[in-house]
Structure formats: C-alpha cells, structure tokens
Amino acid sequence: MAVLEPCDNCGRQTAIYRLAAVILDGGMARVCPLCASSEKGRIEVPFAPRSDQGAIQPSTSRDVW
Ligand SMILES: [Zn+2]
C-alpha cells in the first residue's frame, strides 16, 4: 500500500514516491506530477539546472559532450 502525502501546491493526496522535491517560491516543496508540469514557471528543480539561463559555462570549446 502506497504512502500518501498531500501535494504542497494543490493539496492532492499523492503517492509519496510520485511527489517531486522542488523549490517553489524560494522554499522547499513537494509537488505532484500535475503541479510539476503545470507550475513550471514557479518551480525550480535543484538537481536539474535550467539550460536556458546559461548558468553552466563549459570551460572547453567543445560544443558537444
Ligand atoms: Zn499538486
């Protein structure tokens, strides 16, 4: 039997293994898959740096890793 926890964004009871730990409005939150996809603009995923900010600058000149 799955352990259910409420989504920190919508409160939906969600199996704990389906919740994603993210940074929401500057604080840690666990959100369900629905919020993870619908609230992308507010959510920062700490372990998946956004590629559109150019935060990671390759130290080499290679374009393809
Ligand atoms: Zn949710």
Task: Output the CA 52–ligand 1 centroid distance in Å.
Answer: 25
Distance 65 CA to ligand 1 centre (A): 35
Confidence band, pLDDT 50/70/90 cuts, at residue 49:
low
56 CA to middle of ligand 1, Å?
30
Contacts of residue 40, defined as CB under 8 A and 6 or more positions apart, other chains included, come to none
More confident residue, 9 or 51: 9
Distance 8 CA to ligand 1 centre (A): 7
Q: How far is the CA of 27 from the centre of ligand 1 (A)?
A: 15
41 three-class SS? coil
Mean pLDDT to the nearest integer, 29-57 = 75
What ranges do the domains of the chain cover?
A: 4-46
Angle at 40 between CA 34 and CA 41, to 5 degrees: 140
pTM, to two decimals: 0.62
